Structure 1
């Protein structure tokens, strides 16, 4: 999937404002801390045809 870079930046800035008092670093640390539990190992067919 292609995502427009500007749209991505706008959404990340909104997320930082809403959940981390405009602290982008805090948002990135939170995302990195949750990464291991959020990632699942699934076959591509399960994701695409779910």
Structure 2
């Protein structure tokens, strides 16, 4: 029986910072729309990944 291959990270730590910046910018553009809550939650979750 073979061992499962180890999963590799898709994003680096630096990527999360870049994604958080992009989401923050987009959040300002959709702040008056209903989906802005989802983007705000994502923005805050990305901030906790440091």
- TM-score, normalised to structure 2, is 0.35
Which one has the largest radius of gyration?
2
Larger RCO, structures 1/2 (Cα 8 Å, 6+ apart): 2
Larger helix proportion of the pair: 1
